[in-house]
Structure 1
Amino acid sequence: MAHSVSVMVALSEGARASAAERPTESMAAMAQVAETGRHTLGELRRLLGAVRTDGETPTLEHAPQPGALQLTDLAAQFRRAGLPVRLDLAGSASADPAVGLTVYRIVQESLTNALRHARGVTQVTVGVTWSAESVTIVVQDDAPAAPGAQPPGRGILGIRERAALYAGSVEAGPAAGGGWRVLVRLFWTKERA
């Protein structure tokens, strides 16, 4: 839900800033804010239904957690939010739902960071390459370098925590050719996949 709220804030700030010069784009961004808000409200209702303490059994259905198979939908959601995302998938995704959820959340966080921080970006490339016992995730944008380096935020720390669950590694920082790059490698045993 925090990712969705971050997207809503970024979109609404962008819409406000460009309303006078680009009203059509601003209206489209606000429509995406409304769609994201409705989705987040549904998630919040499911969460509150699951943690009720009044002795009643929750009646709300629990939506399945997203996974690797929803990466295409995730990329499309960020495209609708105005982020030019290209998604490149290679190999067969792990059948382990926990691995799939981890990959999804890492890509989601990386794209949320690009939407919030990458000014002037014309392309964000997401590459996810699967092998029998690992997955490599690369998310790179082509935004011009921002003045002054900023320390990693909570999003990168969250990515590091997720990667640690899979004996993984994370590299995040300015890319050699410009822009920002996040490179994550996750590993598991065949039994877990």
Structure 2
Amino acid sequence: MWRDWALVAVLAVLIPVEALLRPELPARIPTTALLLALLPTLLWRRTRPLPAVAVAFGATTLFPLVTGGAGAESYATAYLLFLPYALVRWGSGREITLGSTIIAIKILVWFAVGPAELEDALAGLAVLPTVTALGLAFRYRSRARQRELDGVRLRERERLARDLHDTVAHHVSAMAIRAQAGLATSAADPGAAADALRLIEAEAARALAEMRAMVRVLRRGEPADLAPSPGIRDVTDFAGRGRGGAEVAVEITGDVADVAPSVDAAVYRLAQESVTNARRHARHARRIEVRVDADADAVHLRVSDDGDGGTGQGPAGYGIAGMVERAGLLGGICAAGPGPGRGWTVTATLPRSGTGA
């Protein structure tokens, strides 16, 4: 990092300046040379904290043996405290254990060989734990922040997975229904096949557009689609009868103007998934009813069909599980099961504020 290079550059100037201003410094020339030689350890203290500690504290431990007992007493030796900090900040458990052992040996040799005064010894023993505690505090804060970011990424991946499933399942199911209708009527009405192909092309274009919008969110450097997400009012887009499919009737009652955006989008996705499942799995269904009712506290969704059997008899997937999870994250509930007479019914209730449980 540039900060480490800047620190090294400043110390490379200050160390010789101190040597010039303090001619009484014991072993002045060797001390200056040692401190300048150890400056590169600051550059790899983040990536290799244990070797940095081993080199720096090993060299200062052996230094009195070379100088005949004179230790490195320069004020600039304070920069070596960056290394114990780096050890507990970025090192692994094994590296912290080994590095602490090296530092402890350095302290024992200092007491045994160096003519340290009591004040200096006590100051050194007080500063080192403080630096270590500071490194541990920043390590804990960094890991807590990383866990928080991982949780946000996980929730965003889950949200994108649900949206991707809802979007793709809806459009692909529509294309499959159009294709089946075209095949069934092509012999009697050749123009029906062309109509079905045009409808399939339109559905494919819409699916591709929505998928590209989601991919832009995941890619860096590409602008995200800032268009508002579909909401409760857009549920009316499902209304109508598709070729060869059941008629969808939509009814929205109550005030949906101030519903929380998350609830607004969730109700749309729940309705979309329910209609898709009914079209795909409800055999002989002629009518699908979608009703959204908003009151003072919650938004209620009910989607039912009049087909034979329930949509739960289709292939196993993530549709219903995703619907239940989506509602639960917003403090609501979602249930699906056979209707009272025939067909399949999906109901969901979400609080207007979208407050999770």
Q: Please tell me the TM-score bracket, short chain as reference.
A: 0.7 to 0.9
Between Structure 1 and Structure 2, the one with more strand by share is 1
Q: Would the aligned equivalents of 2:259 and 2:353 in 1 still touch at CA under 8 Å?
A: no
1:30 maps to 197
1:83 aligned to which of 246, 256, 259 = 246
Q: Pick the structure with greater CA Rg.
A: 2
Q: Given the two structures, how large is their TM-score scaled by the length of structure 2?
A: 0.46
1:183 maps to 347
Shift of 1:95: 3.0
- Output aligned runs, 1:24-173, within 5 Å: 24-53=191-220, 57-59=221-223, 61-76=225-240, 79-80=241-242, 82-93=245-256, 94-145=258-309, 153-173=317-337
- CA gap 1:44/1:150 in 2 versus in 1, 3 angstroms: closer
Shift of 1:5: 2.3
Shift of 1:106: 0.4
CA separation in 2, counterparts of 1:191 and 1:60?
A: 26
Q: Would the aligned equivalents of 2:294 and 2:300 in 1 still touch at CA under 8 Å?
A: yes
- CA gap 1:103/1:190 in 2 versus in 1, 3 angstroms: closer
Q: Would the aligned equivalents of 2:229 and 2:265 in 1 still touch at CA under 8 Å?
A: yes
Between Structure 1 and Structure 2, the one with more helix by share is 2
Structure possessing the higher relative contact order (Cα contacts under 8 Å, 6 or more residues apart) = 1
The answer for unaligned runs of 5 or more in structure 1 is none
Q: Would the aligned equivalents of 1:166 and 1:188 in 2 still touch at CA under 8 Å?
A: no
CA separation in 1, counterparts of 2:324 and 2:349?
A: 10
Q: Would the aligned equivalents of 1:46 and 1:62 in 2 still touch at CA under 8 Å?
A: no
- Structure 1 residues 80-89 or 113-122, which shifts more? 80-89
- CA gap 1:22/1:187 in 2 versus in 1, 3 angstroms: farther
Percentage identity across paired residues of the two chains:
34
Q: Would the aligned equivalents of 1:84 and 1:123 in 2 still touch at CA under 8 Å?
A: yes
SS of residue matched to 1:66: coil
SS of residue matched to 1:170: strand
CA separation in 2, counterparts of 1:23 and 1:120?
A: 24
Deviation digits for residues 98-157 of structure 1, max 9, x if unmatched?
1110000000000001111122111111111101211111111111237x9568742111
CA separation in 2, counterparts of 1:152 and 1:91?
A: 35
- CA gap 1:119/1:23 in 2 versus in 1, 3 angstroms: farther
CA separation in 2, counterparts of 1:115 and 1:190?
A: 29
SS of residue matched to 2:239: helix
Deviation digits for residues 152-188 of structure 1, max 9, x if unmatched?
7421111111111233222212112111111111225
Q: Would the aligned equivalents of 2:331 and 2:355 in 1 still touch at CA under 8 Å?
A: no
Q: How many residues align?
A: 186
Structure 2 letter corresponding to 1:170? C
Q: Would the aligned equivalents of 1:106 and 1:159 in 2 still touch at CA under 8 Å?
A: yes
Coordinate RMSD, CA, aligned: 2.8
